[in-house]
Amino acid sequence: MMTSPINDLITVRDWIRWGASEFTRANLYFGHGTDNAWDEAMVLVLWALSQPWDHLEQIMDARLTLNERETVANLLIRRIESQQPAAYLTGEAWFGGVRFEVSSDVLVPRSPIAELVLAGFQPWVTEYPQSILDLCTGSGCIGLLCAEMFSEASVDLSDVSPKALAIAKRNIESLGHQDRVNIIESDVFNAEEFVGKTYDLIVSNPPYVDAKDLASMPAEYHAEPALGLASGEDGLNLTRRILRDALLHLNPGGILVVEVGNSWEALEETYPEVDFFWPEFENGGHGIFILTAEQLLEYGSLFTGH
């Protein structure tokens, strides 16, 4: 087990610098909320000290007590030795400006879909959505961010994993949305609760990693549940099922929003006739398509044929 020079590092600045240096030496991967060693160290140091991010400048040169230094050191060392995403060590992640509880039973929230939610899905959503489904919800972050944005909408969160839904349930409660956010345990649309049920907006960040990409992913990704990542040889096993059945659950004028990440090329090759719309993102990200209910009707025979 590695040790830290606990008597030599005194201030918040000292510990962030040391953590960033050690993270770089350990060749850690960053992609679960931060994209560099300094920011990763900053997040962990501030969390260990129970300080918000916007207080960093005020406390940068604050001296830490011995107990605080031990707490910070232990957390930074855990990040290196476990190679778990920082969110699993802190038990929280921020998505669209909202705090969510997370654990290793769910993916760390990071989808570019947050940008679409915060923009109200404009210009594709032309009427206020009364009913929203977050399919393959994990922690519930996308559906609950929708609930925050559309305060009159009813929202269903669905996932095949009972452990993930337990996390989603706690996030529903912590955000106070028990009155209009419901949980459905289901393998895509297979649950009885979906029979005859339709929505104005269906959003999904399903498993979409193909076998080749999964095998080459850094250790931090392998700390996440494979159930939330792997989706067959081409990464489209779940997406094909969503496309096949979504029309049955989408109201006229509704839209389907699905993230497929790097599997977007395989999707285009599989359905070359389909005019998927791929929005661009100001904050980075790619591989999210949008289809209208009318398009799903138009291309329905293609989706049921695969």
pLDDT digits (tens, 9 = 90+) for 267-278: 999 999 999 999
Calpha distance 266→210 (Å, rounded): 10
pLDDT tens digit string along 65-118? 999 999 999 999 999 999 999 999 999 999 999 999 999 999 999 999 999 999
Tokens of 191: 């649950």
Lowest mean pLDDT segment, chosen from 22-31, 127-136, 225-234 = 225-234
pLDDT in the model for residue 75? 97
Please report, in angstroms and rounded to a whole number, the separation of the first and last CA atoms in the chain: 51
Task: Please state, in angstroms and as integers, the Cα–Cα distance from residue 218 to each residue in 20, 21, 274, 277, 285, following that order.
Answer: 18, 19, 33, 30, 19
Percentage of the residues of the chain whose pLDDT score is greater than 90: 81
Q: Would the pLDDT of 214 be above 90?
A: no
Task: Please state, in angstroms and as integers, the Cα–Cα distance from residue 36 to each residue in 8, 22, 81, 150, 301, following that order.
Answer: 24, 12, 18, 33, 45
Q: Would the pLDDT of 234 be above 70?
A: yes
pLDDT in the model for residue 233? 86
Angle at 70 between CA 68 and CA 74, to 5 degrees: 120
pLDDT in the model for residue 12? 96
**Residues 226, 278 contacting (CB under 8 angstroms):** no
Tokens of 265: 């090329």
**Residues 191, 158 contacting (CB under 8 angstroms):** yes
Q: Can you tell me which residue has the tokens 């080459």?
A: 216
Q: Would the pLDDT of 306 be above 60?
A: no
Tokens of 232: 């067959």
User: Domains along the chain?
Assistant: 12-90 (1.10.8), 106-304 (3.40.50.150)
- Average per-residue pLDDT for the chain: 94
- Residue 210 pLDDT grade (very low, low, confident, very high; cuts 50, 70, 90): confident
